[in-house]
Amino acid sequence: MTDETKLLLPKGPATTNNARLFLAVFSAVLGNFSFGFSLVYPSPVIPHLKDIENPRLRMNTYQAAWFGSIFTLGAAAGGLGTMLLNDKVGRKLSIMLSAVPSTLGYLLMGSAQVVWMLHLGRFLTGIAGGITAASIPVYVSEISHPAVRGILGSCPQITAVCGSLALYALGLILPWRWLAVAGEVPALIMLVLLCFMPRSPRYLIACGREEEACKALSWLRGPGSDTTAELNRIQQSIASQGRITWSELALPFYYKPILISVGMRFLQQMTGITPILVYLEPIFHKTSISLAPKYDAALVGAVRLLSVITAASLMDKAGRRALLFTSGFLMFLSTLSMTMYTHTRPCPIYNITTHSTLSLQTTSFDPITIIPLISTMVIIFGYAMGWGPITWLLMSEVLPLGARGVASGLCVAVSWITAFVLTQLFMHVVEAFGLFVPFLFFCVVCVINIIFTGVCVPETRGRSLEEIENYFRTGRTFTIRDT
């Protein structure tokens, strides 16, 4: 074996032990589990709060709409705050700080005596969700190497889906207050585990702490691994970048990846995934599905988990663009079928914030009523195959290091402001015009997403972060040429 061969070995995964890397990723993405749990918390809870005997906690339609949507305002605030936190205190500490508003929020909701305590608690859990959404993908991407970055980059979405499924499952057996108690557990476990995990080597080098970065990278790659070549590539990439200025935003190296990331997070929410998940049980009530809506919601949650696991296994095989095209096409077909079903079939007169139907005739089982359940499953499956996990992954891959902290916070803020508007309007549009109007809108958005993927999104499979930065710097190639 020659000296030249030895220098090439660290570039491949063969000499790398991923056990510690997987532990660090698991510790971080517990924050996404808490995020997924918090996001869909209103789905089983709103019907109970609408009919609760305590008049101080009973919600009307207006209050229930805010309870469902105020989480997204908190997430937007958390995302904006992370624009500063990511670069000031680092990715790891930002994730750890999210445990504070998460714990306080669930304490407020679990002990709520009046409606404003529920709203404030929901807002605080939203802040925690915004912080984790902006910090965890960046942290995971920066500590991973190209051979596993695709599958590890999908872990935030997988754990968020697991959190949602856990909420749907626990909602079948636990009262709403105990659901809030259960929501505190993953954030606290995350906080404890992250105390023993290293910081991002790229962040440490950017702060001038090369020795600490070397130790962190060596720990992540396992005992006996040679990290010299990888560390040199990171140092060269960071040395070529200074502190970003407003004038530099006009350079394609900065504005192209930022626009792609912001555009993807905006279009991700425009598919309607947040209002669909938040109001999943009420939507099933509205479509007269024979199976009890709470079981439908749990079933959809299980399908969602299966789909993100499938996407994770294909991320580094099929590539990002192929999965985005597949995802967009599946969502287009399913939202189109949902539009046609809700437009052509009469639905019961049902207040979407309650679980009481005003006029519903008891009829025999009609197989056609399974269409909205299957369509919703395909919507969730398609989203989780591509536009769910890949937008998180691409955000952390394409953003240049000099703008990564600020731009990731901007992406999350844009995403959740969009989600807030859609979640607020969804309820009112459904009650005024019916379900087919929002689903027709989501159908059109899916077509736009397919076009956006074809025109704007590069294929980053198997590329290091430094190669991706070189692609936007040169505008033509991923290959880094030594000078």
Measure the CA–CA gap between 137 and 117, rounded to whole angstroms.
31
The dihedral through the CA atoms of 439, 440, 442, 446 has a sign that is positive
User: Which residue range forms the structural domain that includes residue 384?
Assistant: 18-358+365-474
Q: Is the pLDDT of residue 439 over 60?
A: yes
At residue 257 the predicted structure's pLDDT band, cuts being 50, 70 and 90, is: confident
| 201 domain-assigned | yes
**459 or 364: whose pLDDT is higher?**
459
At residue 15 the predicted structure's pLDDT band, cuts being 50, 70 and 90, is: low
The dihedral through the CA atoms of 451, 340, 425, 306 has a sign that is negative
The CATH number covering residue 218 comes to 1.20.1250.20
Q: Identify which of 466, 406, 83, 467 has the alpha carbon closest to the alpha carbon of residue 249.
A: 406
Question: Which stretch of 193-197, 227-231, 257-261, 464-468 has the lowest confidence by average pLDDT?
Answer: 464-468
Backbone angles phi, psi at 290, to 5 degrees: -65, -40
Measure the CA–CA gap between 395 and 385, rounded to whole angstroms.
16
Query: Residue 134: its pLDDT value, please?
Result: 80
| 482 domain-assigned | no
| 306 domain-assigned | yes
The tokens describing 473, both together, are 């710097």
At residue 10 the predicted structure's pLDDT band, cuts being 50, 70 and 90, is: very low
Q: Is the pLDDT of residue 228 over 70?
A: yes
| 483 domain-assigned | no
Residue percentage of the chain with pLDDT more than 70: 83
Q: Identify which of 363, 369, 334 has the alpha carbon closest to the alpha carbon of residue 442.
A: 334
| 9 domain-assigned | no
| 101 domain-assigned | yes
Q: Identify which of 426, 298, 439, 293 has the alpha carbon closest to the alpha carbon of residue 356.
A: 293
At residue 463 the predicted structure's pLDDT band, cuts being 50, 70 and 90, is: confident
| Residue 358 DSSP SS3 | strand
In total, how many domains does the chain have?
Answer: 1
At residue 24 the predicted structure's pLDDT band, cuts being 50, 70 and 90, is: very high
Residue partners of 35: CB distance under 8 A and separation at least 6? 128, 129, 132, 133, 160, 163
pLDDT in tens, 129-187: 989 888 888 888 888 887 777 778 778 878 888 898 888 888 888 888 899 999 999 99
Query: Residue 349: its pLDDT value, please?
Result: 44
Which stretches of 144-241 are DSSP H helices? 146-153, 155-171, 176-194, 201-206, 210-221, 228-239
